[in-house]
Amino acid sequence: MATSTRASESTKTSQEIPARRLYMDKTHEKTSIAEQLIERRKSLKPIDESTTTTPKAKEKKVTKIKEGKRKTNSGDNRAAIKKQKTVKEQKTVKDILKELPSINTRSTPGLMTDAVSSLTSDQKDWVKRMGFKAFLKINIKSIPLKLCHFVLKHYDEGTNSILIKGKRIKITKEKIHKVFGLPKTGKSLFDLDKVSEDHQVFDGWMKELEDGKANATHYKKIIQKSEQVDMNFKLGFIALFVNTFAESIPMGTNNLVPVRALVEVDDISKIDWCAYLLYCVKNSKGRWHPDDPKCYYKGPMLLPLLIYCDEIECKLQKIERKTPLVTMWTADKLKERQSFEIEAGGFGVGNLIEQSSNLELEKNENQDTRIEEYKDNFDKMFNKVSSIQEDMYGIVFDCISKFRDVDITNELKEKFIKLFSDPIFSSADNQNNENKKKGSHERVESQNGDERLESQNGDTGENYISSYKSPYMDKAVNLFDRIDLQNVLLIQDFESMRPEHVIHHRVIDSWAAVLNYEEQKSKSKPYRLFFNTKIMSSELLDETKSFDERFLTFETRVDKFLSNVKANVDFNDLKLVVFPIHNGDQMYAVVFNLTYPQVHIIDSIQTKSLEKTYGMTPTSLKLYFIRYLEKTTFIINNIEGLRSTTVKMMKIDWNTKELTTENGALLMRHMEKYCGEKQGKWNVEMEKGSDVQAVQFVKLRALYAVKIATHEINNHKERVIKEAIEFGKFDHATRKKMLEEGIQRMDELEMGNRI
């Protein structure tokens, strides 16, 4: 008879309970099973039912085993259950994170953390003097890549903002300074001359790198190897900062262009590092494909992440705030933030923190913040009204062309003029401010001479109001046709060519039409293409719309413009693409050099800050145009070249210190004369000195007016010439009197609009 130790497993004692197995003896082969069982039970001692192997017995036995285990367990049973639940929740967060996309990068802030840990006191002093003090306290060896992916995917380069479920986090130089404490004033890094790669100092530094290879790990090693503040240390620090916190370039190579620009700069604290990082943020998104797991992100990652963490609330995490922000975060805290956001319901669900109450240093910015809110609200309404004005404009014109002498037509015309000419604010202060602006109002005479239309100023809605005629068809024709309201408006546009008047944007568009015609007629390649002023308007800067929405508007306008050219435009055949910008009194050109990828602003004024003078217009235009080129057959390498360059100001010798009424005339001159020459190598034949230039501007306006009026694309050219000949038949005194009366009439109209 066999025995078993099964019972010992259930009771966990040394007592052994025999377990019997029924079997058939050879001597009882002919005996029934029932009889054998009876005989066996008589001869054996009674046993516990639980030791039997019947199904019912097994079930009871298992139950008793479980009960035994529960009874013998020590500790509080409820604590054990709570612990099991906690483990389960942690696994849930991990499971969610595993399913979320990550971001690829070849740089990590941990390299800087390691590098600064071994600096000498002299090296630390240099870092502090150069404005990089916060990096001595950095303790972030890694960043949460899942949360980083989310933040960068929701970054919109058009508005330069992180857009999350109705919340907008704008990235500015001030916020970058708050993150890193870097200098936010000074020279632009892009204005510095770069030394060649075989420059003695730069070449010597490259040879000091391990195996002569430029990568972040080798920069860290050369910093740790240096014991003094020599060029190896300085350039190593700059290179490590740029390629870890700013930008690298495709294929995993390092960006040494800023290093070459700073080789001969002794004091890098005089560089506007915040402006440089702002550029890197804007310029990196377009090269990254968030849905491609193999695509590497090559721009700043820690910067937008810390701005996001500073402005989106996370109630589960309590952290003491201090600036620069990079000094208050660690890798563990950022990783904890990533998990807490998942526990709270997902990335980006927190409320937007009111920045004025976030840090004490921002208290003085409350008033500016409120002003910005007023401006944002006004701009939203302004864009809507401008769009409606354009639609109404088209309705009135169509009605006039079909039902000219009908009472309803006149009624519509009167309502339109009244709606957009009546002043809303009429206080003396506002009136005086308006009168101080030269040429700030455009005056238009209606058919009967007693109605006026006053255009708007500043961030004007004029760019929205289209003539609904292609400048390539009969724009110049309409400038001289006094039949209906549309043509009267165009007459006024053309009369803005008078001296000391702000030139109307439709005159600039007509000039672009003339230049395009002459470029195509010359049949020389590569040639220039001139867009009109309606391509880039303030509507494309509306931050309430997504970048994709705004790009669609841009794309539609460009396509419509090119279709009016009536020629198949191949951007590979173009040398220059010129976008004239007309924003009230401010007029300039943004020029894309497609042969040698460059983007320049050509303007007649002097400025120290492109952002303050031009806002987001040039940068946004660059983003839109590059996106447009990507949809064409334009050479990919040239697209990447444009993307990697920054918008720069063309240096000219004939500029002015401020806006004048002659900015339009100079814009027309720049459009005509610039053919891609290098800075300082081209000339528009304008003399220096205000008195001399004043005479030149009068002549220039007259010449351009004649050229537009008598150009062959003007279908009424013969009529214009005929009227000019008839005018010339009058004697000098009569001609002078007629001109003076015409000028007086226009001046009276302008004065009437100011009352």
Give the pLDDT band (50/70/90) at residue 469: very low
pLDDT of residue 336: 93
pLDDT (mean) for 230-259: 84
Angstrom distance (rounded) from CA 381 to CA 454: 19
pLDDT of residue 311: 92
pLDDT of residue 417: 72
Angstrom distance (rounded) from CA 333 to CA 508: 56
Q: End-to-end CA distance of the chain, in Å?
A: 124
pLDDT of residue 496: 78
User: Residue 167 is inside which H or E element, if any?
Assistant: strand 167-170
Top-confidence residue, 615 or 685: 615
Helix, coil or strand: residue 568: coil
Contact between 517 and 472 (Cβ < 8 Å) = yes
Least confident of 97-111, 473-487, 508-522: 473-487
Query: Which tens digits make up the pLDDT trace of 366-420?
Result: 444 456 566 666 766 776 676 676 667 768 766 776 776 778 888 887 787 767 6
pLDDT > 90 fraction of the chain, expressed in percent and rounded: 26
At position 711, the amino acid (one-letter code) is H
Q: Which residues have a Cβ under 8 Å from the Cβ of 128 and sit 6 or more positions away?
A: 136
**Average pLDDT along the chain:** 74
Top-confidence residue, 658 or 710: 710
User: Residue 690 is inside which H or E element, if any?
Assistant: helix 690-710
How many CB atoms within 10 Å of residue 186?
16
pLDDT of residue 33: 54
Beta strands in 478-571 (DSSP E): 527-530
pLDDT (mean) for 346-358: 75
Give the pLDDT band (50/70/90) at residue 337: very high
Angstrom distance (rounded) from CA 476 to CA 509: 10
Q: Which residues have a Cβ under 8 Å from the Cβ of 579 and sit 6 or more positions away?
A: 531, 535, 536, 589, 590, 591, 592, 621, 625
pLDDT of residue 132: 95
Pairing of strands 598-602, 647-649: parallel
pLDDT of residue 495: 73
Least confident of 44-53, 122-131, 187-196, 244-253: 44-53
pLDDT (mean) for 605-624: 88
pLDDT of residue 47: 46
pLDDT of residue 394: 67
pLDDT of residue 119: 94
pLDDT surpasses 70 at 637: yes
Give the residue from 201, 279, 195 showing the smallest Cα distance to 235: 201
Top-confidence residue, 627 or 752: 627
Give the pLDDT band (50/70/90) at residue 81: very low
Top-confidence residue, 659 or 615: 615
pLDDT of residue 331: 93
pLDDT (mean) for 101-121: 89
Least confident of 217-231, 257-271, 431-445: 431-445
pLDDT (mean) for 326-354: 91
Give the residue from 161, 187, 164 showing the smallest Cα distance to 172: 161
Helices 636-644, 617-630: crossing angle, 10 deg rounding: 160
Least confident of 421-430, 531-540, 647-656: 421-430
Query: Residue 7: left (phi > 0), alpha (psi -120 to 50), or beta?
Result: alpha
Query: Residue 428: left (phi > 0), alpha (psi -120 to 50), or beta?
Result: alpha
Helix, coil or strand: residue 106: coil
pLDDT of residue 452: 32
Least confident of 132-141, 212-221, 306-315: 212-221
Give the pLDDT band (50/70/90) at residue 235: very high
pLDDT of residue 706: 82
pLDDT of residue 474: 32
How many CB atoms within 10 Å of residue 385?
15
pLDDT of residue 728: 75
Give the pLDDT band (50/70/90) at residue 139: very high
pLDDT surpasses 90 at 701: no
Residue 54 in tokens: 């019947």
pLDDT (mean) for 742-752: 60
Top-confidence residue, 116 or 723: 116
Query: Which tens digits make up the pLDDT trace of 168-221?
Result: 899 999 999 999 999 998 888 888 888 988 899 998 999 888 877 888 888 999
Query: Which tens digits make up the pLDDT trace of 482-537?
Result: 323 333 335 556 777 777 788 888 889 888 988 988 888 776 666 899 999 999 98
pLDDT of residue 64: 52
**Chain-centroid distance, C-alpha 598:** 19
Whether the pTM exceeds 0.85: the reply is no
pLDDT > 70 fraction of the chain, expressed in percent and rounded: 67
pLDDT (mean) for 628-657: 83
Query: Which tens digits make up the pLDDT trace of 122-134?
Result: 999 999 999 999 9
pLDDT surpasses 50 at 290: yes
Residue 131 in tokens: 């404005």
Give the pLDDT band (50/70/90) at residue 473: very low
